[in-house]
Amino acid sequence: MQVHPKRLNAMTVDVEDYFHVSAFESVISPSDWSSITPRVGNNTHRLIDLFNEHGIKGTFFTLGWVAEHCPDVVKRIVDEGHELGSHGSNHRRTTTMTRDEVFEDIRISKDKLEQASGKALLGYRAPSFSINKTNEWVFDILVEQGFKYSSSTYPIEHDLYGVPDWPRFKHVRKEGIIEIPVPTIASNGKNTGIGGGGYFRLYPYWLSNRRIKRYMETTTEPYNFYFHPWEIDADQPRVEGAPFKSKLRHYVNLHAMEKKLVKLIKDHEWSTMAEVYGINK
């Protein structure tokens, strides 16, 4: 199968700061955040500059916390033609909250983001892809709050997230919401994640791109890529006391990420989730 040269894929950014990540939740609590200097604002502005330089649009799944502390970033995202989505309020995994807590977390984030941007949101991405078989009721909450789509599932085996036997491609859930999983390639009955994040930083670019091309050659579905503003910030403070595996995942090849990202942007065609997957208001 030949890959169409103008095949459009979705570029997505999970807008959070380095101290919000699940990998550091055992050593940094939300009560510590007010004493830490945010870096997410400057890093996200850098990304918008980069996207603009290369003439692409993207979807920014953004924390309500960011809307509260960096409203200029949120406004710039929509003013310059990018898509704004919700990433929850404070990067709490939905698996760690009750139904009522999840409802409030999503409601507050949606309200803060829409107030800061002046735009209604279409999409949501759960922190750490934390919707699984134990809390499918999150989809009901999203429908109730007016979201049109979610990108909150990753059908792989992983120690922090993933439901390997869930669908690999865009589908309409029984609750009535569209779910767009993070991309995988399937081999010998096992799915391998190719959507971005730490593995994109870890592997050489040629290997990541070969896997992405394989996905495009073996399916007609669009590809979507995700990463975080802190991944282009090699000078971010180092967090003490975190588990070795967490630090390895977080810090590996930060210095190389921006160059890899530019290669990826140049090698493929990119736009927002809403445009690529035909999500309408």
CA distance 225 to 214: 14
Q: Residue 4: its pLDDT value, please? A: 47
Query: Could you tell me if residue 52 is inside a domain?
Result: yes
Q: State pLDDT tens for residues 200-224.
A: 999 999 999 999 999 999 999 999 9
76-114 pLDDT, tens per residue?
Answer: 999 999 999 999 999 999 999 999 999 999 999 999 999
Using CA atoms, how far apart are residues 130 and 126, in angstroms rounded to an integer? 6
- Does pLDDT of 161 surpass 60? no
The tokens 């310059």 sit on which residue? 80
Structural domain contains residue 2: no
DSSP character string of 77-142: HHHTT-EEEE--SS---GGGS-HHHHHHHHHHHHHHHHHHHSS---EE--GGG---TT-THHHHHH
Give the span between the Cα atoms of 33 and 16, in whole angstroms.
12
CB distance 153 to 179 below 8 Å:
yes
State which residues form the domain around 191.
8-276
In a domain, 127, yes or no: yes
Among residues 121, 128, 50, 40, which one has the least CA distance to residue 83?
121
DSSP 239: P
pLDDT at 55: 97
At 232, the amino acid letter reads I
Cα 38 to Cα 19: distance, rounded to the nearest angstrom:
9
Nearest to 202 by CA among 252, 157, 260: 252
Angle at 273 between CA 268 and CA 138, to 5 degrees: 140
CB atoms inside a 10 Å sphere around CB 178: 19
Residue 3, domain member (yes or no): no
Q: DSSP H helical segments within the chain, as ranges?
A: 40-53, 64-69, 71-79, 99-117, 137-144, 197-202, 205-218, 244-251, 254-267, 273-276
Tokens read off for 187:
């081999």
- As a whole number of angstroms, the distance between CA 280 and CA 122 comes to 8
**Does residue 281 lie within any of the structural domains?**
no
Distance CA 267, CA 256 (A): 17
Q: CATH number, domain at 32? A: 3.20.20.370
> How many domains does the chain contain in total?
1
CB 251 within 8 A of CB 193: no
Q: What is the mean pLDDT of residues 228-255?
A: 92
What is the pLDDT averaged over residues 248-254? 90
Q: What is the DSSP letter of 39?
A: -
Question: Is residue 15 one of the residues assigned to a domain?
Answer: yes
How confident is the prediction for the chain on average, in pLDDT?
Answer: 92
pLDDT tens column, 58-77 = 999 999 999 999 999 999 99
Euclidean distance between CA atoms 189 and 200, whole angstroms: 22
1: in domain = no
